[in-house]
Structure 1
Amino acid sequence: MLDADFFHRWMTAAADSVDREANHLTELDSAIGDADHGSNLHRGFAAVRAALDKELPQTPGAVLMLAGRQLIATVGGASGPLYGTLLRRTGKALGDAPRVARQQLAEALGVGVAAVAQMGGAQAGDKTMLDALLPAAEALGTSFGAAREAADAGALATVPMLARKGRASYLGERSIGHQDPGATSSALLITALAETDGASGGDA
């Protein structure tokens, strides 16, 4: 079972990953976006880390809701509302339970991903963060490792896609051949989740 400490460590691992990959995310975004995805997420997850270090909520859902609020408050552009909605809606779906099973998290993440899809009006194949998140949420029902593999594969699969949503869609066919930065950062989030599970001793 996964408790609030596990979710705190997941968010910390995500912040560490964004720290390491911020320049790469910005490089990807410079090709088809505003060249600020890495710096925006770096600022947002730094705020998440600071908030959780100051006050650790007592339930998994509350951890994610706090993280989501911080991202909405500190991340500019579309990324803040989208990532914030993902975490807040996932946290809300987890409710007040002090511990949750992986299957419960998979179902809650599905709720969060659906909220992102509704907010952005996007679907699978549009070359967005959903191309990593949708398969990851489904695969999480099997294992954390499967979710990581699905997210990584989904992000890579955006390279040949034509962007149909977001800033990249303005480029038309010039968006083809570039990996989507949002899908890439989403894969980092799922990888951080799998690594947190691994550090805890295995699939919960």
Structure 2
Amino acid sequence: MTDAIPLTVLTDWLHRFRDAVVAQRDWLTELDSAIGDADHGANMARGMTAAVEKADQTAPATADELFKTVGMTLVSTVGGASGPLYGTFFLRLGATLGPVSDVDPAALAAGLRAGLEGIVARGKAEAGDKTLFDAVAPALDAMDAALAGGASAGTATADAATAAATGRDATIALVARKGRASYLGERSAGHMDPGSASATLLFETLAAAVAG
């Protein structure tokens, strides 16, 4: 399998994402305090810490087992919206990848897309709603475009991370239409969506793990 991504890299990605949300916990909480419940940073840090710990303990041998473990742990340990949304994302990702230990970049992109579809099914978010969708969707579009053009997994995931950050920054000007932030109406404009911020960390750490 050319340019295949081994399970060790996917596991490293989860460790890096855990480290990133722990390191940025206060920033994510600060973002959420402006337009939400001020718990996104704490929830993500607690959830990913528990999920990675569980994965390390059980040492899954295949991608579906790894992401099922992470997804189920997030759903069971994280309150608010982030647990069910990220949990669903990882569960769909694992189910789509299946019982493999090496993942083709195109298969990973398809799995990530299935994860986004799971988020949409749960949260009904669309582009411009000022949610994590606004970072994840452009990231996946960029990844698909790069792979379609023959780019390596490293280039494709780096493009995805850049697009996620652009989408994240664009949420500042948006008026929230979903979640707790939507209660603020026009006052939600001028603030970055915390979900899009953590989603950008997800793609930045994926790119870092693939790059090694």
TM over 0.5: yes
- Counterpart contact for 2:7–2:62, Cα < 8 Å: yes
Amino acid across the alignment from 1:51: K
User: SS of 2:173's equivalent?
Assistant: coil
User: SS of 2:24's equivalent?
Assistant: helix
Within 5 Å, give how 1:159-178 maps onto structure 2.
Answer: 159-178=172-191
TM-score of the superposed pair, with normalisation by structure 2: 0.92
User: SS of 1:157's equivalent?
Assistant: helix
- Counterpart contact for 1:102–1:140, Cα < 8 Å: no
Within 5 Å, give how 1:38-187 maps onto structure 2.
Answer: 38-141=41-144, 142=146, 143-187=156-200
Aligned to 2:153: none
Structure 1 unaligned residues grouped into runs of 5+: 200-204
Mean alpha-carbon deviation: is it higher for 143-152 or for 2-11?
2-11
Give 1:4 deviation, angstroms: 1.8
1:35 aligns with 2:35: no
Amino acid across the alignment from 1:183: S
Give 1:108 deviation, angstroms: 1.1
Q: Supply the distance in 1 between the matched residues of 2:143 and 2:16 (Cα, whole angstroms).
A: 18
- Counterpart contact for 1:3–1:59, Cα < 8 Å: no
Q: Supply the distance in 2 between the matched residues of 1:123 and 1:83 (Cα, whole angstroms).
A: 16
Identity, % of aligned positions: 44
Q: Supply the distance in 1 between the matched residues of 2:21 and 2:43 (Cα, whole angstroms).
A: 10
Mean alpha-carbon deviation: is it higher for 23-32 or for 4-13?
4-13
- Counterpart contact for 2:5–2:210, Cα < 8 Å: no
- Counterpart contact for 1:110–1:138, Cα < 8 Å: no
Structure 2 unaligned residues grouped into runs of 5+: 147-155
1:12 aligns with 2:25: no
Give 1:29 deviation, angstroms: 0.2
Alpha-carbon displacement from aligned partner over 1:98-146 (angstroms, at most 9, x marks no partner): 2111111111111110110111011011000000111112222220110
Give 1:176 deviation, angstroms: 0.2
Runs ≥4 residues deviating over 2 A: none
Amino acid across the alignment from 1:180: D
Aligned to 1:198: 211
